[in-house]
């Protein structure tokens, strides 16, 4: 049970109510709808890397799952294990990200990125050697997106923990990424 009730959709401004209805029914979206100044802008940011990002979907989910694991975010782990499965990520690799040392099932490039995530979450920044190693295996836009995705999921994990947001009782059937993209495209036309 969340610490505060999700806003009644009928109490939202019409534009936010319609936007919420167009999204996958995720509890994080339901909570964020209670902050009209943040709700749609944050959803646009989420859509930017989820649907239009430069990182491959599997690499993106590797980063999100590892961040969620390190921050003990039950909500993010639950939802992004589902997304990882929908995009075809191997179950053994998904589960390995949720352990202390997942190195065995990942390429050298992926292990460097896991190390980058571990350092950023653990100390607030990647060390110079790790940063330079990852810089050699990612393009500049991917490196920036990597850091931003870690930051966003640090924030989302903190919000979920603070408000005690629980996973949805009935999980959405698909990944929800296309629904988010279509909703964001719809508001950009207004």
Q: Which CATH number characterizes residue 25's domain?
A: 1.20.1290.10
Q: What's the domain range around 127?
A: 14-188
Structural domain total, the chain: 1
Q: Measure CA 109 to chain center.
A: 21
- 111 is a domain residue: yes
Which SS3 state, helix, strand or coil, does residue 54 take? coil
Is there a domain that residue 9 lies in?
no
Is residue 173 situated within a structural domain? yes
pLDDT tier at 181 (50, 70, 90 boundaries)?
Answer: low
Residue 7 CA, distance from chain mean position: 22
Q: What is the tens place of the pLDDT at every residue in 54-113?
A: 999 999 999 999 999 999 999 999 999 988 998 899 999 999 999 877 767 899 999 999
CB 138 within 8 A of CB 150: no
pLDDT of residue 1: 84
Instruction: Report the percentage of the chain scoring pLDDT > 90.
Output: 75
What is the DSSP code (8-state) at residue 103? G
Most confident of 33-47, 75-89, 126-140, 175-189: 126-140
Domain assignment present for 44: yes
Burial 49-64 (b: 16+ CB within 10 A, else e): bbeebbbebebbbbbb
> Considering the domain boundaries, does residue 114 fall inside one?
yes
Q: Tell whether 1 is covered by a domain.
A: no
| 68 inside domain | yes
Give the confidence band of 160 by pLDDT, cuts at 50, 70, 90.
very high
Is residue 32 a part of any domain in this protein?
yes
């Amino acid at each position: 049970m969340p610490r505060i009730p999700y806003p009644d959709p009928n109490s939202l401004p019409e534009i936010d109510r319609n936007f919420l209805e167009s999204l996958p029914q995720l509890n994080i979206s339901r909570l964020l709808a209670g902050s009209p100044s943040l709700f749609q802008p944050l959803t646009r940011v989420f859509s930017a890397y989820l649907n239009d990002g430069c990182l491959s979907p599997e690499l993106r989910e590797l980063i999100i799952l590892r961040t969620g694991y390190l921050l003990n975010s039950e909500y993010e782990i639950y939802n992004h294990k589902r997304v990882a499965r929908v995009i075809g990520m191997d179950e053994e690799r998904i589960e390995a990200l949720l352990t202390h040392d997942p190195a065995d099932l990942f390429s050298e490039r992926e292990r460097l990125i896991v190390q980058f995530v571990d350092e950023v979450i653990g100390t607030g920044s990647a060390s110079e050697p790790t940063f330079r190693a990852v810089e050699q295996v990612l393009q500049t836009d991917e490196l920036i997106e990597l850091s931003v995705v870690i930051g966003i999921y640090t924030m989302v994990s903190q919000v979920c923990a603070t408000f005690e947001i629980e996973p949805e009782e009935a999980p959405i059937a698909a990944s929800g990424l296309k629904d988010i993209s279509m909703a964001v495209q719809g508001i950009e036309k207004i």
